[in-house]
Structure 1
């Protein structure tokens, strides 16, 4: 139980990479709190091993009330978080020619505005010497059809990572990003997409990734664990976990 006594908060922890990270750190003995728009399936899966809170990053009032809820659950207004993982996000497959204002706004309101204000509200709860990890994407490095708004939003998050890292360095808080490629999850990170389109998206990832497969959520989770607890001299960086897609030719 390597991380017994450690407190972890995962924003966007009810499925995919966030859930895999929760499961990994629970196995390691950490106290895990996770948020999501629909927490029921994760709560049923994890039972009493984790605490879930409903949160929509598009709702700023929910964000501002979150710190008091976290400290209430941890049992003290002085309680601190050892690792804050800001993983929640929204993506849809929208070619630039058909991208709507509504889809663009939802993408940026969730991935940039919501993520920023969550980090702003929760950073004071991170203990001195603790860590914050954001989820970005290789889409901010590699042009992927249908991912224009998402890619731009994640590029903005990457920029925020570096600024938060600079501003929190005085407290010894390390701020980094994990940048996944194509990862096998129920939605492949894309919401509201028909099954056959998701299958095509996954196959495209498999064919274009130099390692010849898509990643597993647990592989990204192990990178989050490293950045949270083991990479004690790394801050302001983006660690790419993409099977070579961003930097290798296939």
Structure 2
């Protein structure tokens, strides 16, 4: 087993329930520090449920979830402290429409720190520069393209310099060029800032080129964990069906078989 010091996130024997229904079970997963791990799977496979356990929104029915060697706490104050170390990029961006790009990025800094205004302004400028939007500080979300809005949301997610970044379907609604920009940014930020990144997505071909590790979730469990090269070489029927986008196979795609949104 990999030494705990090298592990950013660990799921051990985790079962996740929604109400009376088990969404995921038998989840054992280690995310190495400094890595980019792609969590792949069809819509409804439970990817977002996995994220909910990581951020403490959903307590495991069994097993443990650890972030940097510490169990995800249940007490609200401790959980809020943990969440400061986790940056999350939502697929809907979550930008406040009545705030400019700069004001959106400054929000977590003003909320969670006591830094003076000039320091916050400097940090915001640095984050905008990091995502290639130095000239967009005064624009409102309605004035941004889809790709620009996603980059502003990314700048806000890294505002507090979290060591762990989580991307929830980061390419949703983006054209191929904007998707390429976002994936390159994720890779560059991970390397330049020394982050650990988890990308939850069903965009396989766009994500695998920047990933160090790949995990596939289907039918309520992890069906593959390894390198992208090993994933593409796998002859597992579930993996092949997902990668090829085949409607028929061991993964059920009908709505009756899956009611949990990923």
TM-score by length of 1: 0.34
Q: TM-score, normalised by structure 2?
A: 0.33
More contact order relative to length (CA 8 Å, sep ≥ 6): 2
Which structure: greater strand fraction? 2
Q: Which has the higher helix share?
A: 1
Structure with larger Rg:
2
